[in-house]
Structure 1
Amino acid sequence: MIQHKNILLAFYGDDFTGSTDALEFISNAGATAMLFIKPPTAAQLAQYPSLNVIGIAGATRSLATPEMKDELLPALVQLKATGAKHVHYKVCSTFDSSPATGSIGKAMDIAQQLFPDKPIPVLGGMPALGRYCVFGNLFARMGIGSNGTIYRLDRHPSMMNHPVTPADESDLILHLQKQTSNRGCLIDIIQQTNPVKEWMPATAAECDFVLLDALRDDDLERTGEWLEQQAQQRSTLFSIGSSGIEMALGKYWNATGKLRRVQQWADPGIADPLLVVSGSCSPITTGQIEYATRSGFQLVELNASAAIDSTIDLKKVIHQVNDLLKDRKHVLVHTGTRKAKNLPSKILGSTLGLIAKAAAEAGATKRIIIAGGDTSSYAARAMEIDAVSMIAPLVSGAPLCRAYSANKAIDGLEVNFKGGQVGADDYFALCVRGKK
């Protein structure tokens, strides 16, 4: 990759759904942004000279810690080579990770090989998604884009029972220090009432990373100003956090005139029909599946264990799905009651992706929803998607996107990647309409 003079921000997302979340907030701010499945080549970037934000939809969230370096380090090298002043490691807004899987601390260790300046900013909240960091502790609403109850993270009914990385600590500095030897300090909401130039704590010289609270959307413009100040003092500012980084920078760049916010997106219209493939184990997604059933969706249950053991008759499932779609039925493929903890995300996600790809190649649908943060990255790769850009907002954190692919059946496809915590019960019905 070569330097691209227009790039303001380059980010790596630790899964696909989280990456489209970041894509949405920076696109809403007016950036010309594209999210790639793999680090884009110089030839790919040359096709899109107007880009000022690029992202890579990665898979580190589902990787064992020893596997992360081979995936992440080359991607960060490529992102740094763009010449962007900001390079962001985008994590889930609930900081899903553990010392063994998807370790954010390990990602920090890897990044320090390229970005040695300290302290590394870590933004610990995203109010627009119902994620609030107060005095270093993270709180989360039940269901992004809903009116659910707000819980401290380690008491959140869904997150404390996450099948891979259950939340057992709401203090994000303690959470991260279980995963790295790096030391953290805090810029809390009280400090953030001071002038931005006074935010850095006196203990910062002793810290490797600094956590920033985030409570209100309106506060994030000042966070963006602080991040921009830090970037001006370094060759490249590396940061960690949710899409709050994109929202903060976007707000500040809007205020300074660097970007002009999008006022209205075009109506994408109704899906006729819609295909949903779901590998999510979240109780929120379960509620959405139940609502979709009552709304007339045709359910196709995928035996996840059989998929893992390679004993599933995939051709039979594909034939059943495509027949229903050709009859203009909305179809939802899910893992049903056979879901189990710690099923390999790669195999399950790839299986769902092959089902989705076959539907598109058969011309049975033009809009596909992939539900499940841990499986989405692999589903996108199985569908032969090279990149996506935003078409329209649906629910905060999960925009409707256009797919780019060398496969003509996939190129131009409307796709939506939904994390397990995203949306109210009527989410899939909303995706049929294609707008809020």
Structure 2
Amino acid sequence: MILGVIADDFTGATDVASMLVRGGMQTVQVLGVPDTGLPEADAVVVALKTRTVPAADAVAQSLQALKALQDAGARQIYFKYCSTFDSTAEGNIGPVTDALMQALGTDFSIACPAFPENGRTVFRGHLFVGDQLLSDSGMRQHPLTPMTDANLVRVLQSQSAQQVGLLRYDALRADATGRIAQLRTEGVRIAVADAIDNADLLTLAEACADLPLLTAGSGVALGLAPAYRRRGWLQAGDSAAQLATVQGPAAVLSGSCSEATNAQVARWVADGRRAFALDPLALHRGEQSAEHWLAQAVPALASGPVLLYATAAPERVQAVQAELGVEAAGKVVEDTLAAVARGLVQAGVRRLVVAGGETSGAVVQALAVRQLRIGAPICPGVPWTQADLPDGGQALLLALKSGNFGGVDFFAQALREAGVALA
């Protein structure tokens, strides 16, 4: 194994895995740390669900994943977080980075959530979402991890016990290796790295491919395969993204309430496709249930793909959270959609799109999926993946979408690419 990746949520894991496959690396994603060792591949991505858990739990799980990757012989470790750098106010990006650096015995790493193809760029240490500062974007109102400060040096320094500095874009482009050496002599232990375009990511990956630890969004992974080839670690290949051809009904489940997913749900409904809107308050009161929605959705599959969603506008989300509490509001939706996913697969669904990191984590756990083969991207950061179901039946195709990713027609686009006929 060349690269071992520790991802803080399930959609983020498929995101970075997609970038590695794009570079020609055979990549396998595992869900949680397996008890029986890791599979053989150029890169293995361990998908955790640690973005919003208490920092101590995130550290413990990340260190467990690190040990498994080290035992499998990984040359380099990559801690992957979201391209919007979000976690709780206390972490978990800083505490996990500190713990991984200590465990690896390294005194330097980078932090770079940039993913220019999806509009995430870092300039002078500030994270932009499109043309907006992170703090002015829809992430300001995220129901679980609101981001109100775009200055990543300041955000990370508040979470880390180590000195945080800045690797500016002009220094990166002029002499990245030299500037990194200078930062280390100045006592900087974690450098937030600017990146405005893919060329910056390639430069950064080349300069950092020999570090024991990288911390980043998925963008930096774009440059790792070329850097590894130049070092003679990776051979060229063209079969990394091949998945099985899968037939059977298709469905979409959406628990994300991001701006992007709201627009995607609205497009699906506007196009006249079958959709069922879940009400978290009704679910909490027992007036709705997974069985209730399966009784409606399963017969509808005969006419084509269906969408079941709890996606809602920010004011509706805030009202639900005010009544149920943030954690309970999220849990009732995740548990219901996970149970719905299990019922749909039992009813024969074999191509499933899931929107939202927390929702995706709940769904794959409910399906007892332990490993995913990574296919070609549907859009930057979102690939189709293949899971072999525990009962030994037909393979299942899963597209696990981060809430903020994808164009307005993403759901239909994904299904078409999986061979689903849509009007």
- Which TM-score applies when normalising by structure 2? 0.88
For residue 377 of structure 1, report the CA deviation from its aligned partner: 1.2
Letter aligned with residue 339 of structure 2: L
* Aligned mate of 2:7, from 5, 13, 20: 13
**Residues 99-136 of structure 1, C-alpha deviation per residue, up to 9 Å, x if partnerless?**
24x52112123323412311122224122222111111
Mapped pair 1:207 → 2:183: no
Give 3-state SS (helix, strand or coil) of 1:125's partner: coil
For residue 378 of structure 1, report the CA deviation from its aligned partner: 1.8
* Aligned mate of 2:129, from 107, 117, 140: 140
Q: Which residue of 2 aligns with 1:122?
A: 111
For residue 64 of structure 1, report the CA deviation from its aligned partner: 2.8
Letter aligned with residue 277 of structure 2: E
Q: How many residues align?
A: 407
CA distance in 1, matches of 2:245, 2:67: 40
CA distance in 2, matches of 1:76, 1:309: 41
Letter aligned with residue 412 of structure 2: A
Q: Which residue of 1 aligns with 2:387?
A: 403
CA distance in 1, matches of 2:327, 2:14: 24
Q: Which residue of 1 aligns with 2:271?
A: 295
CA distance in 2, matches of 1:426, 1:106: 37
Distance 1:44 1:78, change over 3 A: closer
Q: Which residue of 2 aligns with 1:239?
A: 214
* Aligned mate of 1:354, from 333, 339, 342: 339
Give 3-state SS (helix, strand or coil) of 2:70's partner: helix
Give 3-state SS (helix, strand or coil) of 2:103's partner: coil
Whether the 8 Å CA contact 2:257–2:311 is kept in 1: the answer is no
Q: Which residue of 1 aligns with 2:165?
A: 185
Q: Which residue of 2 aligns with 1:417?
A: 400
Whether the 8 Å CA contact 1:26–1:33 is kept in 2: the answer is yes
Letter aligned with residue 290 of structure 1: A
* Aligned mate of 1:77, from 67, 77, 88: 67
Whether the 8 Å CA contact 1:23–1:389 is kept in 2: the answer is no
Whether the 8 Å CA contact 2:246–2:350 is kept in 1: the answer is no
Whether the 8 Å CA contact 1:16–1:377 is kept in 2: the answer is yes
Distance 1:347 1:58, change over 3 A: farther
CA distance in 2, matches of 1:129, 1:366: 28
Q: Gaps (5+ residues) in structure 2?
A: none
Q: Which residue of 1 aligns with 2:416?
A: 433
Distance 1:94 1:43, change over 3 A: closer
Between the two proteins, what is the percent identity of the paired residues? 25
Whether the 8 Å CA contact 2:111–2:216 is kept in 1: the answer is yes
Distance 1:155 1:128, change over 3 A: same
Give 3-state SS (helix, strand or coil) of 1:61's partner: coil
Distance 1:267 1:106, change over 3 A: closer
Aligned 1:98-113 pairs, distance under 5 A: 98-100=88-90, 103-113=92-102
Letter aligned with residue 361 of structure 2: S
**Residues 165-198 of structure 1, C-alpha deviation per residue, up to 9 Å, x if partnerless?**
1111111110111222221111111111234431
Q: Which residue of 2 aligns with 1:144?
A: none
CA distance in 1, matches of 2:59, 2:281: 29
For residue 69 of structure 1, report the CA deviation from its aligned partner: 3.0
Question: Which stretch shows the higher mean deviation, 252-261 or 264-273?
Answer: 264-273
Q: Which residue of 2 aligns with 1:4?
A: none
CA distance in 1, matches of 2:48, 2:104: 19
**Residues 292-344 of structure 1, C-alpha deviation per residue, up to 9 Å, x if partnerless?**
0122321112222344566643222122111111x132211111556434244
Letter aligned with residue 246 of structure 1: A
CA distance in 2, matches of 1:109, 1:310: 43
Whether the 8 Å CA contact 2:21–2:376 is kept in 1: the answer is no
For residue 269 of structure 1, report the CA deviation from its aligned partner: 7.8
Q: Which residue of 1 aligns with 2:55?
A: 65
Whether the 8 Å CA contact 2:22–2:376 is kept in 1: the answer is no
Q: Which residue of 2 aligns with 1:147?
A: none
Give 3-state SS (helix, strand or coil) of 2:79's partner: strand
Whether the 8 Å CA contact 1:139–1:153 is kept in 2: the answer is yes
Mapped pair 1:220 → 2:229: no
Q: Which residue of 2 aligns with 1:335?
A: 310
Letter aligned with residue 177 of structure 2: K
**Residues 367-394 of structure 1, C-alpha deviation per residue, up to 9 Å, x if partnerless?**
1011012322122101111111123221
CA distance in 1, matches of 2:267, 2:245: 21
* Aligned mate of 2:367, from 367, 383, 386: 383
* Aligned mate of 2:290, from 298, 314, 321: 314
Letter aligned with residue 117 of structure 1: T
CA distance in 1, matches of 2:68, 2:242: 33
CA distance in 2, matches of 1:304, 1:408: 34
Q: Which is richer in helix?
A: 2
Q: Which residue of 1 aligns with 2:46?
A: 56
CA distance in 2, matches of 1:201, 1:124: 21
Mapped pair 1:171 → 2:151: yes
Mapped pair 1:90 → 2:80: yes
For residue 43 of structure 1, report the CA deviation from its aligned partner: 5.3
Q: Which residue of 2 aligns with 1:374?
A: 358
Q: Gaps (5+ residues) in structure 1?
A: 1-6, 142-149, 232-236
Distance 1:41 1:195, change over 3 A: same
Give 3-state SS (helix, strand or coil) of 1:60's partner: coil
Distance 1:11 1:137, change over 3 A: same
Q: Which residue of 2 aligns with 1:152?
A: 133
Mapped pair 1:25 → 2:19: yes
For residue 42 of structure 1, report the CA deviation from its aligned partner: 4.4
Distance 1:271 1:174, change over 3 A: farther
Whether the 8 Å CA contact 1:93–1:243 is kept in 2: the answer is yes
Letter aligned with residue 332 of structure 1: L
**Residues 244-274 of structure 1, C-alpha deviation per residue, up to 9 Å, x if partnerless?**
2311212323556624264996698897643
Give 3-state SS (helix, strand or coil) of 1:223's partner: helix
CA distance in 2, matches of 1:192, 1:211: 11
